[in-house]
Every structure is written in structure tokens, then in C-alpha cells.
Amino acid sequence: MKIHPRYYPAIIIAAYVIFLLIGILLGFGPKEGGEGHGRGAFLPCLCLTLEVPA
């Protein structure tokens, strides 16, 4: 489907904002104190989760 070029800037800005907000809603937001933050190692947690049923 063809799109009019006039919508192109709106499409890319909307894509950026929507995905940025998804990230923030998933908990990847700015944190007080600023730097070097974590919320549990993803890979080690995943390995542990996969090991539990075994």
C-alpha cells in the first residue's frame, strides 16, 4: 500500500515514542542514583528457571 510522504515523519516519530514507552513501562526507566543499575541477572535467572523443573 502506498503512503503519502507527508505521513512519513509522523510514522517514525510515533514508532520511536511507542517503543520508548514500552521500554519504560517494562521497567527500563531512569533510576534515582543514576548509574550501574540492575534488577537481577537475566541470563543467570533464566538458567535457574529452566533448571527448576529438572
Partner 1 sequence: MTATVRKKHFSLAKSRRLIQWLVVIGTFIIGLRHILPGEASRGGSFDSFCAFGGIETLLPYLFTGHTLKSTNLLNFSVLLGTLGVALVAGRAFCGWLCPLGAVQDFVTEWTRKLLGEKRHVRGRRSKIILPLRLPASLDRPLRYAKYLTLAVILVASLSMVFPPLREFCLVRAVFSLKMTSLLWFTLVVFLAGSILVERFWCKYFCPLGATLAIFNKISPVRLIMENNHCNNCGRCDIECSMDIADVPHHLDHPECVRCMECLNTCAREGSLELKIG
Name the DSSP class of 30.
Answer: -
Number of chain residues interacting with partner 1 (CB under 8 A): 40
| Phi, psi (degrees; rounded to nearest 5) at 31 | -115, 145
How many Å apart are CA 43 and CA 45, to the nearest integer?
Answer: 5
**Binding-residue pattern over the window 12 to 51 for partner 1, x denoting contact by CB under 8 A:** xx-xxxxxx-xxx-xxxxxxxxxxxxxxxxxxxx------
Identity of the residue, 27 or 53, whose beta carbon is nearer to partner 1 in the bound complex:
27
Interacting residue ranges for partner 1, rule: CB under 8 A: 1-6, 8-9, 11-13, 15-20, 22-24, 26-45
